[in-house]
């Protein structure tokens, strides 16, 4: 891992009226890193992530994604990132292969690349028999793996994953993380939010957000040492316990 910075957030803030969802968040993410972005429900994770993806305009503060400014170069940013939202967001009324080709196509893959990529994806995911079936007929775990594969189809510099494994069984979660590792091995930076503390242990570094502010940021090992805990669970509990915001 290098120390080349790929995401740089500087006092990033988002206000909705009086409510400050994300309050002066500052951090850096390095190239090829798996960066865990933790926090209780309502802590401001999704808001922060949406600002970084260009889905939401910050109220104040600065950030650069892959060297591009989030205010001025949103279109450039969009070419260099992948995103997988909390909600499953592939087209349920298109088949597996149609989804792959549609998203590949709009990211500018050539016909030849598209063909190669779809074959490769279907093979890695073991979806040979489902390729021509509508996505709506797939089990949730498979859908999530497919959504992740589609999010990185154009080999972006960074992929943002918003609670990608919510509601997925432990075996499938494990397989999902294998996909994440293999993407990270290819040099894709992973920015992931999660509520599963075992997943936090898989990350290179994690940040923990409480009430719109980042309260801790380090490697899981360092955090556990600092809070003299044996599990990330305890670290998280220690920090999130003081939260004033009600979780939703």
Partner 1 sequence: MRTLGFLLRKEFKQIFRNKSLLPMIFVAPIIQLLILPLAADYEVKDINISIVDHDHSTYSQQLISKVTASGYFQLADYGNSFKRALKLIESDKSDLILEIPQGFEKNLIRENKEKLFVAVNAINGVKAGLGGAYLAQIISTYNNDIRMRWLQQPKFNPMPQIEVTSSNWFNPHLNYRFFMVPGILAVLVTMVGAYMCGLNIVKEKEVGTIEQINVTPIKKYQFILAKLVPFWIIGIFIFSVGLFLVARWVYGIVPVGSLLLLYSYMSLYMVAVLGLGLLISTFSDTQQQAMSITFFFIIIFMLMSGLFTSIDSMPHWAYIIAKCNPVTYFIEVVRMIVLKGSSFSDIKYHFLVMVGFAIFLNGFAIMNYRKTS
Residues in contact with partner 1 by the rule CB under 8 A: 53-57, 74-75, 78-79, 81-83, 85, 87-94, 98, 101-103, 105-108, 134
Answer for the pair 197, 165: CB distance below 8 angstroms, yes or no: no
**3-class state of residue 63 by DSSP:** strand
Least Å from the CB of residue 82 to partner 1: 8
Nearer to partner 1, 59 or 172 (CB): 59
Least Å from the CB of residue 240 to partner 1: 27
Least Å from the CB of residue 121 to partner 1: 17
Nearer to partner 1, 18 or 75 (CB): 75
Nearer to partner 1, 55 or 231 (CB): 55
Report the candidate in 42, 46, 10, 45 with the shortest Cα–Cα distance to residue 29.
Answer: 10
Least Å from the CB of residue 143 to partner 1: 13
Helix (H) or strand (E) holding 218: strand 213-218
Nearer to partner 1, 80 or 175 (CB): 80
- Residue 73 sits at φ, ψ, to 5 deg, of -115, 45
The pairing of beta strand 158-162 with beta strand 189-193: parallel
Tell me the C-alpha to C-alpha distance, in Å, between residue 138 and each of 144, 146, 197.
10, 10, 27
């Amino acid at each position: 891992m290098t120390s080349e910075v790929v995401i740089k957030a500087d006092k990033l803030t988002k206000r909705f009226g009086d409510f400050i969802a994300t309050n002066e968040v500052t951090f850096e993410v390095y190239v090829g890193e798996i960066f865990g972005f933790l926090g209780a429900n309502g802590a401001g994770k999704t808001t922060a992530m949406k600002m970084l993806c260009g889905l939401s305009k910050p109220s104040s503060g600065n950030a650069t994604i892959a060297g591009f400014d989030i205010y001025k170069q949103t279109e450039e940013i969009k070419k260099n990132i992948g995103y997988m939202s909390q909600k499953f967001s592939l087209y349920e009324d298109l088949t597996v292969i149609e989804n792959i080709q549609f998203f590949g196509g709009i990211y500018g893959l050539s016909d030849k690349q598209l063909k190669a990529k779809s074959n490769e994806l279907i093979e890695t995911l073991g979806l040979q028999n489902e390729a021509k079936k509508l996505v709506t007929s797939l089990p949730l775990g498979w859908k999530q793996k497919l959504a992740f594969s589609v999010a990185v189809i154009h080999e972006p510099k960074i992929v943002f994953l918003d609670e990608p494994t919510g509601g997925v069984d432990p075996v499938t979660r494990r397989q999902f993380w294998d996909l994440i590792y293999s993407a990270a091995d290819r040099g894709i930076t992973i920015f992931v939010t999660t509520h599963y503390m075992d997943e936090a242990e898989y990350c290179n570094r994690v940040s923990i957000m409480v009430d719109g502010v980042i309260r801790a940021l380090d490697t899981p090992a360092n955090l556990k040492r600092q809070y003299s805990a044996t599990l990330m669970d305890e670290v998280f509990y220690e920090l999130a316990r003081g939260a004033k915001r009600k979780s939703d």
